[in-house]
């Protein structure tokens, strides 16, 4: 039995797209284009507000004089905690609090280098999803 979302798009499509993300990123000409590609891919797989921060110092050449696209530090708590702990960091909705915000922060690493971080936030809590991947 398949869900409505799987009837429209087979699960293998998700995995194929995700597996090819690295190649897609290499084909982009700028950090902003790579940023948009990661946001787009994540948004297609997981429902929520997607934010991506890339550690621009890792990508910049020493004589690169252009303006920065990203701030020097990740702007969101989940990103900072994921990078500090070197593993995904989740915040689940607190039933006692008025805020139902739920998020997951994920460090983006390659061979021990922190390349950035991704955070998916669901302002209305974990139950606000529509059949796409859950965490």
Q: Write b or e for each residue in 87-125: b if 16 or more Cβ atoms lie within 10 A of its Cβ, otherwise e.
A: eebebebeeeeeebbbbbbbbbbeeeebbbbbbbbbeee
Structural domains of the chain ordered from first start: 11-122 (3.30.450.40)
Asked if 101 and 121 touch (Cβ cutoff 8 Å), the reply is yes
Q: What pTM, to 2 d.p., does this model score?
A: 0.72
> 67-125 pLDDT, tens per residue?
888 898 999 999 999 999 999 999 887 776 667 788 999 999 988 889 999 999 998 87
Question: Counting every residue, how long is the chain?
Answer: 135
Asked if 116 and 108 touch (Cβ cutoff 8 Å), the reply is yes
> 21-67 pLDDT, tens per residue?
777 777 777 888 888 988 988 888 888 999 999 998 887 656 666 78
């Amino acid at each position: 039995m398949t869900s409505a979302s799987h009837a429209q798009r087979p699960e293998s499509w998700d995995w194929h797209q995700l597996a090819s993300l690295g190649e897609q990123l290499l084909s982009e000409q700028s950090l902003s284009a790579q940023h948009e590609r990661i946001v787009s891919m994540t948004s297609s797989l997981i429902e929520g507000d997607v934010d991506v921060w890339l550690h621009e110092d890792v990508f910049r050449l020493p004589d690169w004089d252009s303006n920065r696209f990203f701030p020097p530090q990740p702007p969101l708590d989940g990103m900072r905690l994921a990078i500090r702990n070197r593993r995904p960091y989740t915040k689940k909705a607190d039933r006692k609090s008025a805020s139902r915000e739920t998020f997951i922060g994920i460090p983006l690493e390659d061979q021990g280098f922190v390349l950035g971080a991704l955070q998916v936030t669901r302002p209305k809590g974990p139950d606000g999803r529509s059949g796409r991947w859950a965490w």
